[in-house]
Amino acid sequence: MSNENKSIHEFDFNLICEYYSGVERQGPGSPEVTIKALSFIDNLTSKSHIADIGCGTGGQTMVLAKHATGQITGVDLFSDFINLFNFNAEKLNLQERAKGIVGSMDNLPFQNEELDLIWSEGAIYNIGFQRGLNEWRKFLKTGGYIAVSEASWFTDERPDEINEFWQDAYPEIDTIPNKVSQMQKAGYIPVATFILPENCWTEHFYAPQVKVQEAFLKKYAGNKSAENLIASERHERKLYYKYKEYYGYVFYIGKKI
Ligand code: SAH
């Protein structure tokens, strides 16, 4: 496999963390999209408990905290991200309502039926869409909601180059009707589904990375791992622009029955 085709999990962990600590978001999304997804959730009160799983540095969590009532617990595997999360919460004076903790999505520190809402943008792929929907369900109260964004195919067929890229990066990528059906089978009413607009990738995800990439290549001149990471990010971005009519991120919102 050429370096160009390396997927992100094969790179040095610390380098990836440092790279993504430099941008507000670690996955495609936007404040508008977070607010839109939240508009389908109708069970929240000031006593609600929300979990944001794979919260990263908390870009979307802070938007949630501003627009939803209740307490939010952000969970992420990487302590550097959680430190930034809690720093950001304080900066915005949201520290009483949004707290970040280090933890893994396959071993979450919640009680059964404790949560009113599970949020997860661009992160459920780490455990897998179906496994996440199934395993996280027990933490939700009956009538509670789950809102996750997930890479999805827009068409039944697509060119080999992009198909192979995703089969290597995340073989669980699937079409929207298949994902909706998986959500229903996992015990949720599929309340809403919508495709994230392109600016979630271009403006909010890829554009802020340009500066970070330049600084990174300067700082780590001659470091093969760093150079490969940047080459891989740039390759992924190029593929997005070339094939964006075939795939993207989709929000899936379900209600536990
Ligand atoms: N929700 C954020 C981050 C998405 S990137 C955003 O939309 O900007 C995916 C996140 O999942 C990263 O922050 C990564 O650290 C986290 N992650 C990866 N594996 C994880 C695991 N096993 N448990 C919890 N978080 C994990």
pTM of this prediction exceeds 0.85 = yes
| CATH number, span 27-197+246-256 | 3.40.50.150
Beta-carbon neighbour count of residue 79 at 10 Å?
Answer: 12
> Which residues pair with residue 251 across a beta bridge?
149, 194
- What is the domain partition of the chain in residue ranges? 27-197+246-256
- Please tell me if the CB atom of residue 233 comes closer than 6 angstroms to any atom of ligand 1: no
- Please tell me if the CB atom of residue 62 comes closer than 6 angstroms to any atom of ligand 1: no
- Supply the pLDDT for residue 4: 44
- Please tell me if the CB atom of residue 28 comes closer than 6 angstroms to any atom of ligand 1: no
Instruction: Using alpha carbons, list the distances in angstroms from residue 217 to 7, 26, 207, 222, 227.
Output: 19, 19, 16, 8, 7
- Please tell me if the CB atom of residue 55 comes closer than 6 angstroms to any atom of ligand 1: yes
Question: Could you report the per-residue pLDDT of 22-50, keeping only the tens digit for each?
Answer: 898 999 999 999 999 999 999 999 999 99
- The H-assigned helical ranges of 71-159 are 79-91, 129-136
Can you tell me which atom of ligand 1 is nearest the CA of 26?
Answer: 8
Identify the residue whose C-alpha is closest to ligand 1 atom 19.
126
103 has pLDDT over 60? yes
| Residue of 8, 55, 60 to mutate, ligand 1, most atoms within 8 A of C-beta | 55
Question: Could you report the per-residue pLDDT of 146-174, keeping only the tens digit for each?
Answer: 999 999 999 999 999 999 999 999 999 99
- Cα 11 to averaged position of ligand 1 atoms, centre (Å): 15
| Residue of 17, 50, 77, 101 to mutate, ligand 1, most atoms within 8 A of C-beta | 77
Of residues 70 and 14, more confidence is placed in: 70
